């Protein structure tokens, strides 16, 4: 016999998107269930945790949840560039602490969190629209009825797939990393390592977390490369390739592995009684494949719009569409532009990467951050081209400009 629950809003997935939806909706007086398949929030870490301090402050994330970064080092096979800022603008999150803080904020405002609850199917009403979800919990079979469902299940997109609205992502990044204790750590500097020996369709990284702990990882674009990021990561650490050699003695603490969509903003994200948010919606910056800030921001927007629709008693696609309108206006053009640059980067040889770093070193810290964050709208790129008469920078501007149209 199944346990049955009735909620106004059911959120599937306890990551940053799901917790942010639950927080905003619960704060708005809606009865919310947040469902997480693992035994705790962030039991498994699937991201390197890179984000931006501007977003951290906007979301109210506590200072002890992140390590600030103000130096950005790039390394190609035969070139090395460091852009140094006066104050930190980037950050590496303590992923577990941050995700748990987000979930606690939701719970504090009245959301009910169900752990070890694995959703496997959807419940439909007589019109064929979603009316809830079903799966298994610690107590056995479980059913959640709701007026609106949010698919924040991440890369797997469990709810949307069960409804038949989406198929598996065709392009995605596969990332493997070790969190390690290292002998020598510059805690204000991250490293991005590019070129064939690091990743044939992606990059490797060193991201400091604080207290002499760093995350060393490799990301590989699929299907562009058949390389296994876990094997390549082991090779790089064993051979102490490039800047990894500067870390001295390395003691592994934990292994992380994750997948992130890289198909761009190709999915419809609103249906009758259903919203997709975060990785389920493909909301990721293709340049460095980070999306935590989008997950939180658009999660909160989804929570607000869903809760208001529920209060109004109208939860069809039209009633929820303001959510899709919002994220499209905010990031669609930027993500398209970043995708064009990424397409260029994926095809570069080692020699071309060496030259690409010469372009990057011409950028001021502000220009670099706008670029790597995928915040270069057309106005940013016009300003960039005006500041840099170099032909290579102008070519990059033209590349993005053509994609922005």
Say what the pLDDT of residue 238 is: 97
pLDDT tens per residue across span 4-47: 999 999 999 999 999 999 999 999 999 999 999 999 999 999 99
User: In the chain, pLDDT over 90 holds for what percent of residues?
Assistant: 83
Helix (H) or strand (E) holding 52: strand 50-52
What Å distances lie between residue 103 and 146, 199, 252, CA to CA? 20, 34, 28
Say what the pLDDT of residue 366 is: 87
404 pLDDT exceeds 80? no
Cβ–Cβ < 8 Å for 199, 218: yes
pTM: 0.93
Average pLDDT, the chain: 93
313 pLDDT exceeds 90? yes
Say what the pLDDT of residue 403 is: 46
Q: Average the pLDDT over 345-365 and give the result.
A: 88
369 pLDDT exceeds 70? yes
Where b means 16+ CB within 10 Å and e means fewer, 216-238 reads bbbbbbbebbebebbebbeebbe
Task: Name the E strands within 223-314.
Answer: 250-261, 270-271, 274-276
119 pLDDT exceeds 70? yes
Out of 32-41, 171-180, 192-201, 384-393, least confident range: 384-393
118, exposed or middle or buried, with CB in 10 Å at 0-12, 13-18, 19+? Answer: middle
What Å distances lie between residue 266 and 38, 164, 250, 281, 332, CA to CA? 28, 16, 41, 8, 10
Q: What is the DSSP string of 226-246?
A: ---HHHHHHHHHHHT-GGGGG
Please report the domains of the chain, with CATH numbers, ordered by start residue.
Answer: 3-43+96-166+265-331 (3.50.50.60), 50-93+171-261 (3.30.9.10), 336-404 (no CATH)
Neighbours of 245 (CB within 10 A): 10
């Amino acid at each position: 016999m199944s346990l049955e629950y009735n909620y106004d809003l059911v959120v599937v997935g306890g990551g940053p998107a799901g917790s942010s939806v639950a927080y905003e909706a619960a704060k708005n007086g809606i009865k919310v269930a947040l469902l997480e398949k693992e035994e705790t929030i962030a039991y498994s870490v699937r991201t390197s945790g890179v984000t931006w301090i501007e977003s951290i402050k906007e979301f109210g994330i506590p200072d002890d949840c992140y390590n600030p970064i103000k130096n950005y080092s790039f390394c190609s096979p035969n070139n090395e560039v460091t852009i140094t800022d006066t104050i930190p603008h980037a950050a590496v999150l303590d992923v577990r602490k941050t995700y748990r803080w987000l979930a606690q904020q939701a719970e504090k405002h009245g959301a009910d969190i169900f752990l070890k609850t694995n959703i496997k199917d959807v419940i439909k009403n007589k019109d064929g629209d979603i009316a809830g979800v079903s799966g298994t919990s610690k107590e056995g079979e479980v059913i959640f009825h709701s007026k609106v469902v949010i698919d924040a299940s991440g890369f797997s997109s469990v709810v949307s797939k069960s409804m038949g609205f989406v198929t598996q992502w065709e392009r995605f990044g596969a990332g493997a990393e070790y969190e390690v204790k290292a002998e020598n750590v510059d805690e204000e500097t991250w490293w991005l390592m590019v070129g064939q020996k690091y990743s044939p369709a992606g990059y490797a990284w060193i991201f400091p977390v604080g207290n002499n702990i760093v995350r060393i990882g490799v990301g590989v674009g699929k299907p562009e490369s058949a390389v296994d990021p876990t094997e390549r990561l082991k090779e790089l650490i064993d051979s102490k390739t490039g800047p990894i050699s500067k870390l001295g003695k390395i003691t592994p603490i934990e292994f992380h592995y994750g997948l992130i969509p890289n198909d761009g903003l190709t999915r419809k994200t609103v249906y009758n009684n259903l919203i997709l948010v975060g990785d389920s919606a493909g909301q990721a910056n293709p340049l460095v494949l980070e999306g935590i800030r989008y997950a939180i921001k658009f999660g909160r927007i989804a929570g607000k719009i869903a809760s208001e629709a529920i209060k109004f008693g109208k939860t069809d696609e039209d009633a929820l569409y303001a959510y899709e309108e919002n994220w499209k206006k905010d990031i669609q053009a930027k993500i398209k532009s970043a995708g064009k640059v990424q397409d260029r980067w994926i095809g570069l040889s080692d020699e071309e990467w060496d030259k690409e770093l010469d372009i990057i070193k011409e950028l001021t810290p502000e220009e670099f951050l706008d670029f790597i964050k995928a915040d270069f709208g057309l106005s940013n790129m016009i300003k960039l081209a005006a500041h840099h008469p170099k032909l290579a920078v102008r070519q990059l501007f033209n590349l993005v400009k053509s994609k922005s149209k």
